[in-house]
Amino acid sequence: EVQLVESGGGLVQPGGSLTLSCEASGFAVTSTYMIWVRQTPGRGLECLSIIYIDGNTDYADSVKGRFTISRDDSENTVFLQLNSLRAADTAIYYCARDLFLSPAYWGQGTLVTVSS
């Protein structure tokens, strides 16, 4: 059974950093694309970053240069490093297994709140 469990969210001050983790089970994260998506009431669902099977990555312009996606094959975990956080980054962050160029399996999400 495919399962994704995110962790690492919380309250952080503007300009601060956070690392989100997404532990996968039921499949190998190296065998598929993995994607991070966030959701806010104002901007809806937004795809942020993707890591491909070969390890290459892509980012949305809104987070390019501030967020970094990576994975640990031995832990079967994908990470999203969030730097230079702004109030506008407050959101629920989901990781997902990408199949047919769309998020097919989603985690439960982790809430990131950026506030002083």
Partner 1 sequence: DVVMTQSPLSLPVTLGQPASISCRSSQSLVHSDGNTYLNWFHQRPGQSPRRLIYKVSNRDSGVPDRFSGSGSATDFTLRISWVEAEDVGLYYCMQGTHWPQTFGQGTKVEIK
How far apart are CB 35 and partner 1 at their closest, in Å? 7
Tokens of 33: 């694309």
Q: In what order do the strands lie in the sheet with 67-72?
A: 3-7, 18-25, 77-82, 67-72
Residues 53-72: x where in contact with partner 1 by CB under 8 A, - otherwise, as a string: -----xxxx-----------
- Contact segment (CB under 8 A) with partner 1 among 10-18, 20-28, 44-52, 80-88 equals 44-52
CA 84 to centroid of chain Cα atoms: 16
Tell me which residues in 86-105 interact with partner 1 (CB under 8 A): 94, 98-104
| Residue 12: strand, helix, or coil | strand
- Looking at 50, 51, 78, 114, which residue binds partner 1 (CB under 8 A)? 50
Query: What length is written for the chain?
Result: 116
Going by their DSSP bridges, the two strands 103-106 and 3-7 should be labelled as unpaired
Instruction: Decide if residue 27 touches partner 1 (CB under 8 A).
Output: no
- Looking at 11, 45, 53, 111, which residue binds partner 1 (CB under 8 A)? 45
